[in-house]
Amino acid sequence: EGQDPDRIEAELHQDSEQIIIAVKLEIT
C-alpha cells in the first residue's frame, strides 16, 4: 500500500532483465 506505481514498474523491469540475462547464460 502507498507504493509508487512507477517504482514497481521499474523493479519489475529490472527483475525481467535479470531473468533474461540468466536465461542467456544458461543457453550459452
Q: Give pLDDT tens digits for 1-28.
A: 677 889 889 888 899 999 999 999 998 7
Can you tell me which residue has the cell 531473468?
19
Dist. CA 9–CA 22, nearest whole Å = 20
Dist. CA 6–CA 14, nearest whole Å = 12
Dist. CA 28–CA 21, nearest whole Å = 11
DSSP 1-28: ----HHHHHHHHHHHHHHHHHHHHHHH-
- Grid coordinates of 5: 506505481
Residue 27: predicted pLDDT: 83
